[in-house]
Amino acid sequence: MSDVTTSPDSWHRDWLLGTGDHGIAVTELEWGILRFFAAFERSCEQLSRLATADGLKFQEVIVVGVVAMQRGHPTASSLARQLNRDDVQNLQYTLRKLVDNGYLSQSKKTGSRVVTYAVSKKGRKFVTDYFTVRSKLLTKKTGLIEDIDAKLSGASELISVLTGLYDGAAMTSSTYSPLYENKGDHK
């Protein structure tokens, strides 16, 4: 039996999204982010089931947590910006559900159309309980990774830069014409 050493390039030779070393590295990162996001979503939902009988959905967990982190009372628009979301209507629906279920409160100044949100007592208890479960099942375990805080800080900065690059590519590409003439041509 011969010992066959395979270079990373041979594993990716048929990829249309990554034909060179750099393209392969970018594509591997994209796939890694997709897998991480799916795992992050699953963990948020499962941990929320331990913190509340309501079993909040992923977006609800995130929104309650972000509102709870605020010093002031954010609006739907400011939350959308913080979460890098364009779907403000969907975010407003999530906010209404969280208000209806008692996790958030909303207020509006007299004569103003601007609605702001704050975490309620029920919401604060959820965030506290969620934090406790998250600390026990996740955060303590990440502490086992050598030099984790520096690695997390570097990864966070890299993701911020990449977010800007991907948003820039999306914005620029919106002004381009498709590579195909009509819908039937791209098959």
Does residue 86 register a pLDDT over 50?
Answer: yes
Residues 18-139, CATH architecture: Orthogonal Bundle (1.10)
pLDDT (mean) for 85-110: 95
pLDDT, position 181:
74
pLDDT score, position 111? 85
What are the residue ranges spanned by the domains of the chain?
18-139
CA 33/CA 186 separation, integer angstroms:
28
- Cα distances (Å, whole numbers) of residue 173 to 109, 166, 169, 181: 40, 10, 6, 16
Q: Give the predicted TM-score (pTM) of the model.
A: 0.83
* C-alpha span between 128 and 51 (Å, rounded): 8
Higher pLDDT, 39 or 179: 39
- Look at strands 104-108 and 115-119 and give their pairing: antiparallel
- pLDDT recorded at residue 4: 47
Mean of pLDDT values over 78-105:
96
Q: Which two tokens stand for residue 17?
A: 């999204």
